[in-house]
Amino acid sequence: MSSVYVHSLFSEFDIDLFKAGKHFRLYEKLGSHPMTLEGEKGTYFAVWAPSAKSVSVVGDFNYWLEGDHKLNVRWDGSGIWEGFIPGVMPGAIYKYKIQSNHNDVKTEKADPFARRAEHPPKTASVVYAADYKWKDKKWMSSRAKYNALDTPFSVYEMHLGSWRKTGEENRSLSYTELADELVAYVKKMEFTHVEFMPIMEYPYDPSWGYQLTGYFAPTSRFGYPEEFMLLVDKLHQAGIGVILDWVPSHFPEDAHGLGNFDGSHLYEHPDPRKGWHPDWKSLIFNYGRNEVRAFLISNALFWLDQYHIDGLRVDAVASMLYLDYSREDGEWEPNQFGGRENLDAISFLEELNKTVYKNYPDVQTIAEESTSYTGVSKPVFLGGLGFGMKWMMGWMHDTLEYFKKEPVHRKYHQNDITFSLTYAFSENFMLPLSHDEVVYGKRSLFDRMPGPEWERFANLRLMFGYMFTHPGTKLIFQGGEFGQSAEWNFQESLDWHLLQYDFHTGIQKCVKDLNKLYKSQPALYERQFRPEGFEWIEWADGENSVLSYLRKGYDAENAVLVICNFTPVPRENYKVGVPEAFTKAGSKVKELFNSNEKKYGGSGDFISKKVKVEATPWNGREHSITLDLAPLAVMVFGLK
């Protein structure tokens, strides 16, 4: 039998923290760690398996023979097995062979804390030692101002495997290739952040990465961990923040994953009413178990620490909050107070956010939460869950429903497009047009738009203009920014060839300029989460399907006026009341943006570069402007 040296990276304090669920840097202790012990090079292994009778490390270095390298169980009841194996070097492939005390069940598992994994469909872990020199000091030292709630926050959401593929090979781009092509594109398009759908290792491509088996390993589909670090680094050097989709809500049953890890319900809740997800046929974490909470929060901090990530978009929060989520009567059990809330999950999310912001106050956590649960983005000390932002799913639904209607019918649905402003400031909302809205028969954003071709493109430009001038931060999924006509297919590249057509390049230029407008006008971001940042001019002109409103920043002179015409009929000599601030600067206001410009694919008509402010009362204001409204267009006016 080959030797395993008794060795530990754990102090008694570490163990106490782990048992209490308060050790949030477990990746420094558990997993595989190349090191030198008493002059010998090798690797220290540590794994949590409290129901195990024995744990062996098996791999290419011992011909996958069980029992050749048995780990030693700690004496302190922590359930941690550990030991140093000489001669095992970075690059070695391994798993844990676990014999359980439960009926001698044997499992063979990937390392939950592995920093690298084999390329799927292979499933083993790889011993890995980080060796990367970061060059993003300038970004990291100043990112607080780019991630603040009163700064522009425009996110390009993307799926690495399908964003762009090489020609003849039809191969997804590698992390290294993306570090050139993606960085240049996102910078050109003026987005402030990029959001990656899950890049943690996952076995099943159709899951899009939302069913994870390697929580600490960037997927090997696109390269090595250092190459993903390079991608993040290059984005930072270009002034672009990086958000990761993070999935603490469920995990798959794959044999090498976390399920039934040591022959027991270790990571998943043992009660299927709390531990099994009927929608996704997957397992749910046991949020009431201290060690599981420590695992998940350590994982969140790991990406912020080791990969310099700027934010985490937490997936499927609604499914975590409610015990009856997707369950019929009799399939769930009320909490101790008789309610439907999952108190353990709520407590976990509160602790997650407190810990993230305590350690990394210059990042953001963003909740994908689709219910009316209150206080998602309120601080924990005020009774909230503590997220920085929440996806505004109601706005997304109402907006897409409104825009798919023929314009002639929109006058009967004015309330649909204005309703979001009744609750827009109840949370720190991000407006998402995400991947979920362009799959499974929902059609692409462009394909939802009604009318002949010019109207469809005009509608899409109008919707983006409405989105960028509505309170809240922004998110657009890949392809939407140039009017991808087909639904998203994770197996295929985006239809970049569409950019040979003027209408599609027009949409792309429009989104680019909306990003520039958003970043250049403080009124659009300084108070994007506060009611003081928005004021209706006219919301009730349903007969003409026109909206007009003000966006306001800290300085009254920075206010911008937004007018949306949701029909293909020009509105001539249309009068709009304006604020007192607009009577300055020679009594003329400038047109800052018009989605009907020729460069965007519009007609180029009804462009008003400057409009005179008149002392004519209108809309309850002492001054007004009169102008011709372009068809199916958004127009933005201001002094600066």
Computed on alpha carbons and rounded to an integer, the radius of gyration of the chain in Å comes to: 27
- The answer to whether 23 touches 302, Cβ cutoff 8 Å, is no
C-alpha distances in angstroms, 155 versus 204, 377, 474? 26, 18, 6
Q: At what angle do helices 175-188 and 225-237 cross, to 10 degrees?
A: 20
Catalytic residue among 368, 369, 455, 513: 368
The tokens for 41 are 């090079």
Residue 206 Ramachandran class (φ > 0 left, ψ -120 to 50 alpha, else beta) = alpha
| Cα–Cα distance measured from residue 292 to residue 348, given in angstroms and rounded to the nearest whole number | 10
Catalytic residue among 315, 350, 481, 526: 315
Q: What is residue 318's three-state secondary structure?
A: helix
Q: At what angle do helices 502-520 and 453-469 cross, to 10 degrees?
A: 10
Question: Terminal CA-to-CA distance of the chain, rounded, Å?
Answer: 77
The tokens for 190 are 């003026």
Question: Phi/psi at 121 (nearest 5 deg)?
Answer: -85, 0
The tokens for 386 are 């503590």
Whether 368 is catalytic is yes
> Chain centroid to CA 423: how far?
22
| Cα–Cα distance measured from residue 440 to residue 447, given in angstroms and rounded to the nearest whole number | 13
| Cα–Cα distance measured from residue 118 to residue 128, given in angstroms and rounded to the nearest whole number | 11
User: DSSP letter string over 427-486?
Assistant: S-EEEEE-GGGGSTTS--HHHH--SSHHHHHHHHHHHHHHHHHSSSEEEEETTGGGT--S
Whether 157 is catalytic is no
Q: At what angle do helices 12-20 and 290-306 cross, to 10 degrees?
A: 110
Instruction: Please list, in sequence order, all residues whose beta carbon lies within 8 angstroms of the beta carbon of residue 591, skipping any fewer than 6 positions away.
Output: 607, 608, 609, 610, 611, 635, 636, 637
Q: Is 553 exposed, middle or buried (0-12, 13-18, 19+ CB in 10 A)?
A: buried
Active site residues: 315, 368
